[in-house]
Amino acid sequence: MAASQVLAGFHAVVARLRHAPDSVKDIYYDGQRRDKRMLSLLEQAERAQRPVHAVNAERLDGLARGTRHQGVVALADARSLAVDLDEVLETANAVPFLLILDGVTDPHNLGACLRTADAAGVHAVIAPRDRAVGLNATVARVACGAADTVPYLMVTNLARTMRELKDRGVWLVGTDDQSQDTIHDVDAKLPMAWVMGAEGEGMRRLTRETCDRLVQIPMQGSVESLNVSVASAVCLYETVRQRQP
């Protein structure tokens, strides 16, 4: 029997209806809302022949389990977009482009990273199983549908996975504000993975030592660092910029 998943908010529910409607089991919505956005979602659910239930706000709060739901919650089968790293690399239709997150435990940060990864064309996001947040309802809502399009692989041993990537010809570039090189010095046209640490602690020692290269994001103002989701966006779009034809 497939594991269940709670999808809260318009973006998460609409994205699942678009990408995998058969996985949606039930949709619960605020019976008091009849605005254009809600009517559009209900029409999409009807086209997909998914059951909908008008309920009160208290029932929605209970279903969403503390996640902001905007008046709509869906119960669905959990999806796995990729089984493992080999599947990701073998099905990538371009030069491998990955994002590795070490120690990102805030679901808002992970959701934002997934959203940017989708926009930048990243093939997968990789994180350690013991120091990362899973794909919960908050992540799905913040990701605005990207949790249904970008594979999120949680691995038992991150350093070992990074070494396997190196064996497969993937260049590992980490961020370090003490480096003399910048993100603009990276040849991002090569098969690569950006390696990001959590804000504050940064990457663990072994993760840092496994990187092929460390670079910094140029900072012109008074702040010392960027939020991990913002830093990831800056790095990912340096790759996008360099790979433009």
For the chain, how many residues are written? 245
Contacts of 73 (CB under 8 A, 6+ apart): 6, 7, 8, 13, 27, 28, 29, 60, 63, 64
Q: Are 137 and 7 in contact (CB under 8 A)?
A: yes
Residues annotated in a binding site for S-adenosyl-L-methionine: 197, 217, 226
- Residue 186's φ and ψ, nearest 5 degrees, are -85, 140
Q: What tokens were used for 232? A: 């990831």
Residues annotated in a binding site: 197, 217, 226
Q: CA-CA distance, 209 to 203, in Å (whole number)?
A: 10
Contacts of 169 (CB under 8 A, 6+ apart): 191
One-letter amino acid at 102 equals D
